Amino acid sequence: MAGQGPRPGRGGAARPCRRRADVRGARSVSRRRRGGARGGRGRALPRRPRSRARRVGRSCRPGHRGLRHLRTGTRVGMSDQPPFHRDARGRSRPARRRPARPAVTPDELLRRKSLSKVFLLVASIAAFVSLIAAGLARLDGSGPQDAPPSDARAAATEAAPASALLPNAVLVDVVKIVDGDTIDVRAAQTELRVRLYGVDTPERGDRCFKEATDRTRALAAAQVQLVPDARLQDSFKRELRYVYTAGGESIDAALVREGFALAWRQDGAQRAALIALEEQARAAKRGCLWSSQ
């Protein structure tokens, strides 16, 4: 039979190599024959043709174990693929590796350190030169100059920044200047009459009344800060507060220092400081209270 060759048997004698399909066919025929011989119980059945795909056997060449014949369209396993495909696990090309970075030599490290030092030196020189230029511009008058005292005071009383708000102080709007030591303010939609805690200015009709009232009006401007002390009201139900400008300057201290008011000597946390200012103003004969003495 074509495609068959001698194959060694148990006894060393060559026996013909039969395909698996032929062996199965022979076994089925012998079974049918044995069944037919036993009392006619069995009968011969026609042999069914087997498909080509199932007739897979070994090669009949002597000493050769044979190769596996694959059907058309059968997927090849990973073990049957070449090493390239087994390693890549289905990728179309092997993974690219990034090139290794070259090692940094000692000369390169020294060069980088030198560059960083040079950069820091240049930045320091530039900052120093800018500071010198700003100082020279301020000296020759081309730079920004300090505003006159009157302008600075007016600018400070326009509005109180958050940093100028004193501890325990309340910022209020000024409604009216009654006299040198009394003002009307508005806080939370409520108008209050406030008496300056630490000073006593001339009353209406007395000498220096107008000057003290005008000075208080200039210092208070549009807004003031009110700071409470031990007593909150006087005998006339006026609120007692130390009054500061919006910028944080004490109006009580300014009136006494400039010779427009006397220090309140009965009580108050700032009593000692205000008395000292009054003595200085009296000795220097400042303001309308002490200039004629």
Domain membership of residue 251 (yes or no) is yes
Does residue 292 surpass a pLDDT of 70? Answer: yes
Asked whether residue 56 falls in the same domain as residue 160, the answer is no
Per-residue pLDDT band for 148 (boundaries 50, 70, 90) equals very low
- Residues 197, 276: Cα–Cα separation, whole Å: 16
Domain membership of residue 162 (yes or no) is yes
**Helix, strand, coil shares, percent, the chain, to 5:** 40, 15, 45
- Per cent of the chain over pLDDT 70 is 52
Q: What is the pTM of this model?
A: 0.46
Asked whether residue 53 falls in the same domain as residue 173, the answer is no
Q: Residues near 229 by Cβ (< 8 Å), separated by ≥ 6? A: 197, 240, 241, 242, 268, 269
186 is catalytic: no
Domain membership of residue 122 (yes or no) is no
Q: What is the pLDDT of residues 59-97, one digit of tens each?
A: 455 554 544 444 444 454 555 555 544 444 555 555 556
Single residue among 60, 80, 99 that ends a domain in this structure: 60
Does residue 228 surpass a pLDDT of 90? Answer: yes
Does residue 127 surpass a pLDDT of 60? Answer: yes
Range of the domain at 211: 156-290
Per-residue pLDDT band for 50 (boundaries 50, 70, 90) equals low
Give the rounded distance of the alpha carbon of 146 from its chain centre: 39
Domain membership of residue 128 (yes or no) is no
154 against 104, higher pLDDT: 104
Mean pLDDT lowest among 157-171, 188-202, 244-258 = 157-171
Q: What is the number of domains present in the chain?
A: 2
Asked whether residue 165 falls in the same domain as residue 40, the answer is no
Asked whether residue 165 falls in the same domain as residue 284, the answer is yes
Instruction: Find the catalytic residue in 215, 238, 241, 257.
Output: 238
Q: Please, are residues 197 and 252 in contact by the beta-carbon 8 Å criterion? A: yes
Instruction: Find the catalytic residue in 108, 158, 191, 203.
Output: 203
Q: What is the CB neighbour count within 10 angstroms for residue 62? A: 11
The Cβ-side half-sphere exposure at 204, using a 13 Å CA radius, reads 3
Average pLDDT taken over every residue of the chain:
72
- Residues 286, 255: Cα–Cα separation, whole Å: 11
CATH of the domain at 171: 2.40.50.90
Domain membership of residue 222 (yes or no) is yes
238 is catalytic: yes
- Residues 7, 2: Cα–Cα separation, whole Å: 14
Average pLDDT over residues 43-56: 53
So what's the pLDDT on residue 118?
73
